[in-house]
Chain A
Amino acid sequence: MIPRLSGESAAFVRRVLAVTLVEAFAGQVAGAWVLTINSGPRAIFLQVGNGSYSGFHNTGGTPLNNATINTVSVTVPASTVGSGTAQQMTSNSTQSVSFYDNFAICNPPSQVYVGGWVRTPGSSGGSGVLSVTSPAALTSGTTPATIPFTQISWTSTANGNSAPDIPAGTFTGGTQVLRTIPANRWIENCHTFFYANTAVVSAATYTGQVTYTLVLP
């Protein structure tokens, strides 16, 4: 009896092994098709004044390039030059709606749209830095006099959002950081510009150009 038992046990073991091999083989035959996805692309969008978008963000729109350089200006009556009474400027911007959702967020021409966003993958993805650079002064081609850019300031608001998401400020005649823009957040405001009018200057047309920059490190 004992030898036969041993033999049967051995046979059983062999079957168990065979079963195990079948199962393992079935596992090896099967596949697993692979779909490789990549990270979202780094992207950046900045709009000052008139801009362009293919539709609106909430309907799948994407940014387009717009090379327009808008102008803000004011004509100061001779009787008030240097009076210290701030003069509100007006613009040639016609941008009223946000490309986020077509909401009429700004009231041109007194207000100039300023907005943007950044996209970057990763949970610790950096923020964009919005800054503006102004020259030291506005100049005129007909007179040696200049007007310091520090004479120009702006307020910041928006229809439906009175919070100055991009703070009000005064040009410094250099580069100044306006704010950081976190990833995946659409930041926008409408700026109204003012000329401080605290100095008597020669009658002339004074011009200068400021440049807004959004950087995603």
Chain B
Amino acid sequence: MISPWVLVVLRACGSLLAAMLVGAPAAATYVVDDSSTIPYEAQTSMRWRNTTDASRQMSSEIEGGATVNVRLNLQPWLNRNGRVYLALPQQPVGVVNVEWATQGRLLPGKLQSGERTLVFAGPIRTPFLEDNLTVRVVADGRRVIGNQRLHFHFEIDVD
């Protein structure tokens, strides 16, 4: 049995919850819409790395790079504090190491597949956050056979 008072409280809580979720995203992690990134799909030719060691072993790693104009749609979190991360899921070809440089809007950094790294923290003042990323990728050349698509994404933690 639930009294009418309880029902009123329930109704009010439900309305508030809905308003919070529809009007402004709650504190949580969200994937950021980066569909305006150019090129949205880039291809890089990999080459063998030239590292050396005393046994005259040659590196089995391959490396390549690309420049990407990242455009993040942060409209849903405008005027809130957030932390934006670049993430790369674990890859079937093993560990993929990524480093990137930026032009200042986002933070430079590096990550391994399966990780995420902070690229922005602070109040979100503009609906879009844009930067040029010079990305360098290193992978195990013994495991990369043919083309391998690396699906990067950005995600945001909002307060």
Contact = CB atoms under 8 A, between A and B. Distances in A.
Interface of A: 1, 4-5, 8, 11-12, 15, 18-19, 22-23, 26-27, 29-41, 43, 57-61, 100-101, 117, 119, 121-123, 125, 183-188
Given A26-B31, A188-B56, A38 B144 contact: yes
Contact of A37 (B51, B52, B57, B137): B137
Interface stretch (B37-45, B103-111, B117-125): B37-45
A8 B48 contact: no
Interface of B: 1-2, 4, 7, 10-11, 14-15, 17-18, 21-22, 25, 30-35, 37, 40-48, 50-52, 56-60, 62, 64, 66, 68, 70, 73, 76, 135, 137, 139, 141-153
Given A19-B18, A26-B76, A38-B43, 9 more contacts: A8-B10, A12-B10, A31-B33, A32-B34, A32-B151, A35-B44, A37-B150, A57-B58, A122-B143
Contacts of A29: 33, 35, 73
Contact of B62 (A11, A40, A59, A101): A40
A38 to B, nearest CB: 5
A151 to B, nearest CB: 33
Q: Name A's interface SS.
A: mixed
B41 A36 contact: yes
Contact of A40 (B32, B47, B149): B47
B62 to A, nearest CB: 4
Main SS at interface, chain B: mixed
Given A12-B14, A19-B18, A186-B58, A121 B148 contact: no
Contacts of A186: 56-58
Contacts of B143: 122-123
